[in-house]
Amino acid sequence: MRLPFPSEREGGDTIPRCAIGAVKTERIKLTAAYLNTMAGGFFTAGVDAPIAAAVFGISGPAGNLSALTVTVGALIFLAGSLALHAAARYILKGLEP
């Protein structure tokens, strides 16, 4: 029994090689978009939300946190966000224009 190649469809029609390259390109772009969305989520949850809570005087479930704790936490999430965004850019780096 012969397994069909990914470039073959039912009925014997084949997908041109350029279409397979296009599919691979779209998968790479989808992965990069996912990482970039995660980066945005990290930024929103770890940087924007604590700043907004501090500005509007809203305390979290742990009560009032010191400014140092909020700042260090925001910096950690900012670093995570930048790392995820950099990973997304690195993935896209290999694509041809």
User: Per residue in 32-64, pLDDT tens?
Assistant: 999 999 999 999 999 999 888 888 888 767 677
Alpha carbons 31 and 78: distance in angstroms, whole number: 21
Query: Cα 32 to the chain's mean position, in Å?
Result: 6
- Chain segment 12-36, per-residue pLDDT in tens: 555 565 666 888 899 999 999 999 9
Q: Which of 82, 83, 80, 55 is nearest to 67 (CA)?
A: 55
